[in-house]
Amino acid sequence: ILIAVLTVPVIFKDKIRTKVVQVINASVNADVKFGDYKLGFFRNFPNMTFSLDNVSVVGVDNFENDTLAALKTFDLVFNLGSLLGRSGYEIKSIIADQVQVNAIVLEDGSANWDIMKDTTETAADRPAVRSLHGRCARLRSLRRDYRAQRSLLPLLQLRQLDGMFLISESAGSAP
């Protein structure tokens, strides 16, 4: 098992990268790019960490060339045992570092963060996420910008509560 843990990420690196790009492109209406990825078993042992470096999410159509988000690193930490089972996988944590978010709302009310593609797949067609544990989401070094071309839109505010981030709405227009 140790040999497989050490060799699978190296031997199948290109195939894994291609699959990650296919899954992302099938899921979002945006141009998502990343520099490199890593599969690691030692940093969060006994869990497996999947990391993307230098991630950018850039809009298409009305938001072409507008960067929605940029992240230095994006990590998903999985319970290794759950990846080997058939009843879904367990995400221990999601960690994003040096995050820049640019939220934009156009005059017609369309928002650049509405990027998920419509899908006809059912829950049975997708791998199940059994659970999220602990401090499941951590954002380190977050910068955000909100721009609206229409007045009196709800202004999204990101608040930090004990290491967790929450989104809330307040009345008003963007500065």
The mean per-residue pLDDT over the stretch 72-99 comes to 81
Answer with the residue of higher pLDDT: 40 or 135.
40
**What is the model's pTM?**
0.70
pLDDT category of residue 48 using cuts at 50, 70 and 90:
confident
Q: Measured between alpha carbons, how far is 15 from 8 in angstroms, rounded to an integer?
A: 11
Chain-centroid distance of CA 55 in Å reads 9
pLDDT at 156: 44
Which has more pLDDT, 35 or 148? Answer: 35
The 8-class DSSP code of residue 83 comes to H
> What's residue 79's pLDDT?
79
68-to-17, 38, 56, 156 alpha-carbon distances in Å: 22, 23, 8, 14
Contact 105, 111 (CB under 8 A): yes
What confidence tens digit (pLDDT) does each residue in 51-61 have?
A: 999 999 999 99
Summary mean pLDDT of the chain: 75
pLDDT of residue 130: 52
Average pLDDT over residues 104-131: 74
pLDDT computed for residue 76 by the predictor: 87
Q: What pLDDT is recorded for position 172? A: 38
Per residue in 159-172, pLDDT (tens digit) is 444 344 433 333 33
Comparing 124 with 19, the larger pLDDT belongs to 19
